[in-house]
């Protein structure tokens, strides 16, 4: 047997209107549909109604209705912009309401009450809502006064889509529904969607006459915005079962979502006209805005408190080395802000508890249940179930937040809320029954007949964590991680400085003999030329020249190296913009002679000025260009290319050669001191040059990368960041 739920009923395509009004539908200014009672007010047969224009209809029902045409056209040119006017037809007051929707013009006529809204009334109502300590309660009183109904309630939708009455004004003889819960299916989803679109709905008489709309098929006429639309028979029966014979509802929209309804009930039929409904809808939204404003004020105050705690905690964590002590100091403040009952810090395998929280076994159960969620840095729930693990404790903590402070090290921060046992009062037991009409194969939901209070105890859950509380805790977690990272960074930096100092001491002698080879080669070459000149064969001259050259070379270069080494490692210096073109050319000429590579083809592209220190930049390019010349010198057509270019705010220098290449497949650190590749056998060197290059790059705040293929060549990239244009 097929069951059809309330949520499947197409209530906006019912094709019917209530008795207190008339409906005409126009397309291209021609009437294509009308309610069957339209003959009463036009005094035309239905076949003559179809085909008339808006102007002709106005002339039928209003003396000289032509004056309205320009204003009507201005309103109906914008979808859902309504033109309303109070008119008299056959000595009876009516409202006409005309609007465009779904490329059609809807022309509604409905009877008026004697109620008249004054501007002073509107102003007084607004002031009353603004001054009220309980805006929702004040709103129910105002709407009960305006409608004259027996009861007005504010009905709030909860997270599970059920509802609860949070404010009520009623006649004394009626029992109260305040705090009563209603199941989700009492207001099905398609009804909520209509309330979100159109803010006012009313049933004047649940037993009132219903009129069909003729001229178009019901499924072709969307009545979502029609004030006259008839209600579902299921809903009308539901109202009868509550002893309600007139009903009105007004939407409460907060942040573009349906937050709740103002629901009005009367035990006798009663019509609420258009002006009354508009006023009630306005006040409902005004109260919603007041509520939102109060919430914003509370949020601003809460954010100020949160920001202060966050700022102070950050300052102390960054200054103090007692990480656990600082967290213990701020734990009570954090607990107060997020309304937690306890905090646990898991730090270096130890647990530190503040306030009320589970014991060690309870923490283990939480961790075990989250083994498959290790990637979740932030986990929260208000319904954690310990019972599946057989955990027993006097206090139950289903409200759990676990924050990962240091991934991989199992440092966690836990926050807990105790179980909140709630006695819920429902307006009748929330059960849905289906009935099957005789001879039918389709079952329909039966409207509830019982609304006697039914109590339910809700256990196993804590109060929900609020979004702003979770956001605050995420910020606190970020601050803690930042402090841990900075502390680790300081330790890492100290270790790196220590390693660098030790490395400098261990390799000082090697560095002296490495970087001096280029200038020494030139001095040796010059000395050889002097000594081999035929006209200068004096023994004394030769001996003195040789001694002077040797002594000068040794002393000068040792002092220069000490200076360069100290500069590259420790000395503070001011950066200046330097174009290295001239130094590159000097280095090239020297290294060509050193490695006897006179047939080298050298390509020099654009050289862009970069921030640096002259000695350090010279050392860097000396090693990189020297290596390029050296390792390509045995090629038949050696090639070295140096160029630079911009990439955003960075300047990148490339030093490329077609030499022997480097095997990078095994992840070898080529910048490690004394690191020499197997294919460099036969080339002089001690594996120090690239170590110096890396050290200088770090000192200058530059980044260095390498690409290489064996027997094809190598390219070094040096990226200088934040270079001014």
CATH number of the domain enclosing 622: 3.30.565.10
- Domain assignment present for residue 409? The answer is yes
One domain for residues 336 and 416: yes
One domain for residues 549 and 683: yes
- Domain assignment present for residue 152? The answer is no
Q: Residue 37 belongs to a domain with what CATH number?
A: 3.30.450.20
pLDDT band, very low/low/confident/very high, at 598 (cuts 50, 70, 90): confident
Distance, in Å, from the CA atom of 151 to the CA atom of 141, rounded to the nearest integer, reads: 9
One domain for residues 481 and 389: yes
User: Quick one: average pLDDT of 518-546?
Assistant: 59
User: Quick one: average pLDDT of 194-207?
Assistant: 92
Looking at 82, 111, 140, which one is the last position of a domain?
Answer: 111
Higher pLDDT, 408 or 135: 135
| Percent of the chain whose pLDDT exceeds 70 | 78
- Domain assignment present for residue 259? The answer is no
How much is the pLDDT for 190? Answer: 84
DSSP states of 8-76? G--GGG--EEETTEEEEEEETTEEEEEETTHHHHH-S-HHHHTT--HHHHHHHHSTTGGGGHHHHHHHH
- Domain assignment present for residue 282? The answer is no
User: Quick one: average pLDDT of 640-669?
Assistant: 87
How much is the pLDDT for 558? Answer: 46
The DSSP output letter for 409 is T
pLDDT digits (tens, 9 = 90+) for 458-491: 777 888 888 888 888 888 888 877 777 776 665 5
One domain for residues 367 and 514: no
One domain for residues 692 and 664: yes
One domain for residues 429 and 556: no
- Domain assignment present for residue 526? The answer is yes
Q: Which of 505, 477, 623, 638 is nearest to 562 (CA)?
A: 505
How much is the pLDDT for 497? Answer: 62
- Domain assignment present for residue 11? The answer is no
One domain for residues 536 and 597: yes
Query: Cβ contacts of residue 256 below 8 Å, gap of 6+?
Result: none
Give the number of other Cβ atoms within 10 Å of residue 564's Cβ.
21
Output the pTM of the full model: 0.59
Higher pLDDT, 302 or 704: 704
- Domain assignment present for residue 277? The answer is no
Instruction: Compute CA 709 distance to the chain's CA centroid, rounded to the nearest angstrom.
Output: 45
Distance, in Å, from the CA atom of 592 to the CA atom of 649, rounded to the nearest integer, reads: 34
Looking at 76, 93, 111, which one is the last position of a domain?
Answer: 111
Domain count, the chain: 4
Instruction: Compute CA 573 distance to the chain's CA centroid, rounded to the nearest angstrom.
Output: 44
96, two tokens? 């006409």
One domain for residues 522 and 541: yes
Q: Residue 346 belongs to a domain with what CATH number?
A: 3.30.450.270
One domain for residues 401 and 540: no
pLDDT digits (tens, 9 = 90+) for 538-587: 665 566 566 556 544 554 544 454 455 544 554 566 788 999 999 899 88
Question: What's phi and psi for 196, nearest 5 deg?
Answer: -70, -30
- Domain assignment present for residue 221? The answer is no
One domain for residues 615 and 716: yes
User: Quick one: average pLDDT of 426-454?
Assistant: 58
Which residue range is the domain that position 106 belongs to? 16-111
Does residue 508 surpass a pLDDT of 90?
no
CB 250 within 8 A of CB 152: no
One domain for residues 566 and 673: yes
pLDDT digits (tens, 9 = 90+) for 475-484: 888 887 777 7
Looking at 111, 142, 165, which one is the last position of a domain?
Answer: 111
One domain for residues 433 and 579: no
Element containing residue 214 per DSSP (H, E): strand 210-214
């Amino acid at each position: 047997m097929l069951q059809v739920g309330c949520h499947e009923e197409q209530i906006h395509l019912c094709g019917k209107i209530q008795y207190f009004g008339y409906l005409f539908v126009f397309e291209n200014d021609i009437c294509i549909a009308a309610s069957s009672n339209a003959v009463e007010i036009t005094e035309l047969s239905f076949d003559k109604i179809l085909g008339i224009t808006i102007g002709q209809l106005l002339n039928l029902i209003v003396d000289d209705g032509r004056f309205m045409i320009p204003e009507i056209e201005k309103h109906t040119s914008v979808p859902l912009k309504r033109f309303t006017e109070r008119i008299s037809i056959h000595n009876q007051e009516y409202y006409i309401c005309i609007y465009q929707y779904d490329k059609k013009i809807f022309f509604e006529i409905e009877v008026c009450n004697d109620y008249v809204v004054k501007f002073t009334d509107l102003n007084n109502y607004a002031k009353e809502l603004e001054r009220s300590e309980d805006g929702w309660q004040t709103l129910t009183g105002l709407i009960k006064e305006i409608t004259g109904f027996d009861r007005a309630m504010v009905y709030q939708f909860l997270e599970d889509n059920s509802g609860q009455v949070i404010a009520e004004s009623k006649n004394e003889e009626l029992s109260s529904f305040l705090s009563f819960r209603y199941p989700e299916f009492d207001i099905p989803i398609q009804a909520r969607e209509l309330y979100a679109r159109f803010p006012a709905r009313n049933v004047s008489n649940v037993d009132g006459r219903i009129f069909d709309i003729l001229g178009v098929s019901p499924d072709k006429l969307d009545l979502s915005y029609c004030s006259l639309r008839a209600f579902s028979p299921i809903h009308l029966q539901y109202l009868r079962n509550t002893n309600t014979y007139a009903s009105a509802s007004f939407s409460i929209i907060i942040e573009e979502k349906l937050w709740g309804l103002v629901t009005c009930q009367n035990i006798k039929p009663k019509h609420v006209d258009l002006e009354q409904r508009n006023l009630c809808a306005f006040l409902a939204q005004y109260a919603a805005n007041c509520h939102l404003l109060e919430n914003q004020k509370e949020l601003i105050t809460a954010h100020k408190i949160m920001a202060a705690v966050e700022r102070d905690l950050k300052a102390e964590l960054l200054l103090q080395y007692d990480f656990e002590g600082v967290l213990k100091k701020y734990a009570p403040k954090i607990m107060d802000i997020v309304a937690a009952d306890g905090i646990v810090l898991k730090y270096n395998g130890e647990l530190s508890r503040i306030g009320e929280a589970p014991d060690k076994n309870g923490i283990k159960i939480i961790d075990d249940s989250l083994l498959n969620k290790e990637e979740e840095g932030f986990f929260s729930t208000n319904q954690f179930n310990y019972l599946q693990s057989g955990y027993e404790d006097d206090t139950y903590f289903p409200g759990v937040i676990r924050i990962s402070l240091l991934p991989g090290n199992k440092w966690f921060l836990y926050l807990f809320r105790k179980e909140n046992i709630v006695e819920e009062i429902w307006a009748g037991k929330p059960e849905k029954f289906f009935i099957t009409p005789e001879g039918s194969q389709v079952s329909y939901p039966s409207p509830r007949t019982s609304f006697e209070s039914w109590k339910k105890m809700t256990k196993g859950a804590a109060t929900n964590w609020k979004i702003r509380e979770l956001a605050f805790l995420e910020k606190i977690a970020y601050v803690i991680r930042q402090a841990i990272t900075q502390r680790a960074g300081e330790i890492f930096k100290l270790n790196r400085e220590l390693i660098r100092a030790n490395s400098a001491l261990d390799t000082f002698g090697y560095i002296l003999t490495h970087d001096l080879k280029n200038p020494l080669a030139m001095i040796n070459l010059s000395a050889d030329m002097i000594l081999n000149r035929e006209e200068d064969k004096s023994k004394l001259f030769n001996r003195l020249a040789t001694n002077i050259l040797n002594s000068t070379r040794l002393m000068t270069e040792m002092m220069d190296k000490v200076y360069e080494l100290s500069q590259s490692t420790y000395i503070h210096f001011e950066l200046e913009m330097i174009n290295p073109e001239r130094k590159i050319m000097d280095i090239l000429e020297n290294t060509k002679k050193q490695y006897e590579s006179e047939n080298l083809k050298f390509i020099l592209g654009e050289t862009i000025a970069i921030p640096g220190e002259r000695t350090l930049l010279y050392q860097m390019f000396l090693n990189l260009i020297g290596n390029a010349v050296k390792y390509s010198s045995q090629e038949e057509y050696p090639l070295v290319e140096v160029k630079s270019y911009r990439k955003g705010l960075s300047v990148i220098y490339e030093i490329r050669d077609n030499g022997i290449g480097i095997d990078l497949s095994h992840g070898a650190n080529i910048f490690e001191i004394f690191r020499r590749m197997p294919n460099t056998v036969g080339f002089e060197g001690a594996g120090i040059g690239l170590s110096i290059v890396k050290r200088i790059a770090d000192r200058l705040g530059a980044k260095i990368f390498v690409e290489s293929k064996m027997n094809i060549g190598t390219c070094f990239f040096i990226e200088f960041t934040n270079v001014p244009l």
